Amino acid sequence: MATTLPNYAPYNISLTDQSAIVRFFPHRDGLITDNWNVTYTDSNFADWSYNNNFGSGMSAHRTVLVGAYVVIDWAGTAVFLYGTSAAEYTVQVDGQPLLTGLGADGLLFSQTDLAYGLHTAVLTVNAGELSLANATVTVGMGETGTVLQQRNISAVDTSVSPATANPTFIGDTNEWSVTDLYTNQTANGSPCIITSTYGSTLAFSISEAVGFVLYGSDDWAQGLFTVSVTSDNFGATSFITDNSIQYSPRALWTQLDLPKYMATGLDRTATYDVVITNLGANFNLASVVVYDAIPSASASTSASLIGSSPLQSGVSGSGTSAAGQNTSSSSLSSTPTGSTSPTAAPTGGSSSSASGRKSSNTTSRQCILMIVVPALFVFHFCYAGTCVV
């Protein structure tokens, strides 16, 4: 377990189940009887087609497979899992003794006041049907007393015609290209840089950052990818999740601008080299949102200030800075994506718990929804209405 950093300001990051950061096993989308299956409240599989596969409403992954499990890796101090369960499930954090839930609707599990560092939460289905809607993790974003700012690095420069790739991102031009995805379903499309070459890499560097998030779409034509983050500064990568973790953005229903990967607790004085490696059918990148934390007296009034309000663009933070503490709270956003209004937060106290009854402080299933986007390749990966990794 990593050393506690009491000067890190805690922020809650909410992730919809469609985010690749939430990893499902054995596969993230397939038949409910032998995999996880993604559903949307306002989408019907009977209406699914190549020209109609944007998910509508609220998403969730559900399964009845005994032994199916979910993994979330992050650097921080707390985790909250939300969904519904009709029977038994277990949750384990960092290999500690299992906690068992016996049916819940809302908050399935919470663990707070962990020592700041790298952590892994694993939820396993023991019996019956379980549905996971979203998760919240508490991370460190700069030191207390600083002001959090964000800057957006678009993967594509749309100010010129035809659009070109942002030179910040370095990749083989024979393997990466600029594409407007999903023009068959939306008038404006979704400008991205994409590849369908196995093993193809995309590299970029960032500095003056305490965290960053990769954004792109989930769809039925994507496969696995990895993200490597390195730095020449000693200790600068202490809170980076394992570079060998394989993430999957594959889903039958498509959603745009989802967080595909996040790194937090970065040293803003260091320079980081980031390499994305495609290990599946397709991979797309729409943008990178970089977070910086600067002394409040130096904050520019023209910058995009976040402070203690929710982080925007689909990653939300509702925790406020608390000097010398590892305390935090979690919340489900009931406001539209990108809202900066904090929401009521169920607190987990200084303990871990698995729900065994309906949670009274999460009366509705809510999550951060991004819009949707698919890639235009390998339709044959889907079968019987489902896709597998």
pLDDT digits (tens, 9 = 90+) for 61-113: 999 999 999 999 999 999 999 999 988 999 999 999 889 998 888 999 999 99
Q: Distance (Å, rounded) from C-alpha 39 to C-alpha 55?
A: 8
Determine the pLDDT at residue 295: 81
Cis bond leading into 162, ω under 30°?
A: yes
Q: Is 182 left (phi over 0), alpha (psi -120 to 50) or beta?
A: left
Structural domain boundaries enclosing 127: 8-144+308-354
One-letter amino acid of 151: R
Give the H or E element holding residue 156.
strand 156-157
Please list, in sequence order, all residues whose beta carbon lies within 8 angstroms of the beta carbon of residue 167, skipping any fewer than 6 positions away.
Answer: none
How do 211-218 and 255-264 pair as beta strands? antiparallel
Q: Distance (Å, rounded) from C-alpha 210 to C-alpha 218?
A: 26
Decide if 1 is inside a domain: no
Q: Are residues 213 and 134 in the same domain?
A: no
Decide if 244 is inside a domain: yes
Whether the full predicted model's pTM is greater than 0.75, yes or no, is yes
Decide if 3 is inside a domain: no
Q: Are residues 49 and 111 in the same domain?
A: yes
Please list, in sequence order, all residues whose beta carbon lies within 8 angstroms of the beta carbon of residue 16, skipping any fewer than 6 positions away.
Answer: 22, 59, 133, 134, 255, 258, 314, 367, 368, 369, 370
Joined tokens for residue 283: 């991979």
* Residue-wise pLDDT tens digits, 199-257: 999 999 999 999 999 999 999 999 999 999 999 999 999 999 999 999 999 999 999 99
Q: Are residues 117 and 194 in the same domain?
A: no
Model confidence band, residue 330 (pLDDT cutoffs 50, 70, 90):
very low
Structurally, the chain folds into a number of domains equal to 2
Q: Distance (Å, rounded) from C-alpha 135 to C-alpha 137?
A: 7
Decide if 215 is inside a domain: yes
